[in-house]
Amino acid sequence: MARKKFVCGNWKMHRTGAEARALVREVRAAAEPFCDRVDVAIAPPFTALGVAAEELAGSRVGLGAQNLHWESQGAFTGEISAPMLVDAGCRYVLCGHSERRQFFGDTDEWVQRKTRAALAAGLHPIVCVGETLPERESGRTLEVVGRQVRAALSGLTPQQVGSLTVAYEPVWAIGTGKTASSAQAQEVHAALRAILRELAPSAADAVRILYGGSVKPDNAAELMSQPDVDGALVGGASLKAADFTGIIQGANR
């Protein structure tokens, strides 16, 4: 099944409001010509969502957030809810990025709650899964990502599964300059697709599975030429408009 490619930039904890405004302008101008063939989104930090939404008004480049809390409001100091993200202009939200799992205690159960809260608010979740280096080296990659995706998607209707994206991001490849080979990525993406077929047979073929982990303009096209690699989740390279555009061009090939 032909799936439209999707490239999403994760800015992590980078860029003030003024810096974000300048970068969004550049990204919008460079990315828009590709939006017929490639879906493009950026996920700036919470504090820059307002200026990013202003700069993206009327654009086909989508806005996303990097995290959310599963409650819609309440005494949860420092947290941001799904309805607040919708209000800020977001269409997408990352759920369970490995840096959240590693440094902030996100568990499989929390990722499931976040995914459900995002869907309930009408956001499009990007559910992130991935193995650490010791897990890969001990041959547990498919077991780990399988557990993560089953947990995140458990209890969802096929329609809900059809309105989310999965991102496979090997932890050892994030921000390290090491990339999974296209064959390694395809192996895991195909396994994830098989699990999606089990969980939601009618929706699985439409779900996009992104690869993330040191994607750059020079490796993007090769990774995305694989049958189950439907786009990229891009960290470092999304902070430079030229590099991000190079990756979008790779998706367009």
Q: Which among 130, 194, 115 has a CA at the least distance from the CA of 161?
A: 115
Least distance from C-beta 154 to ligand PEP, angstroms? Answer: 23
> Choosing from 69, 97, 124, 189, which is the catalytic residue?
97
Give SS3 for 24: helix
Using an 8 Å Cβ cutoff, are 232 and 211 in contact? Answer: yes
- Segment 5-34, which members bind ligand PEP (CB under 6 A)? 10
Name 104's Cβ contacts closer than 8 Å, sequence gap at least 6.
none
Residues in the chain: 253
Nearer to ligand PEP, 169 or 228 (CB): 169
Select the span of 24-32, 53-61, 72-80, 168-176 touching ligand PEP (CB under 6 A).
168-176
Planar angle of CA 245, 209, 215, nearest 5 degrees:
35
Residue matched to tokens 């939200």: 93
174 binds ligand PEP (CB under 6 A): yes
Nearer to ligand PEP, 200 or 213 (CB): 213
- Segment 212-241, which members bind ligand PEP (CB under 6 A)? 212-215, 233-237
Concerning whether 97 is annotated as a catalytic residue, the answer is yes
DSSP bridge pairs for 65:
93
Question: How is residue 25 written in tokens?
Answer: 């302008």
Concerning whether 55 is annotated as a catalytic residue, the answer is no
Q: Which residues are catalytic?
A: 97, 169
Summarize as ranges the residues that interact with ligand PEP (CB under 6 A): 10, 169, 174-175, 212-215, 233-237
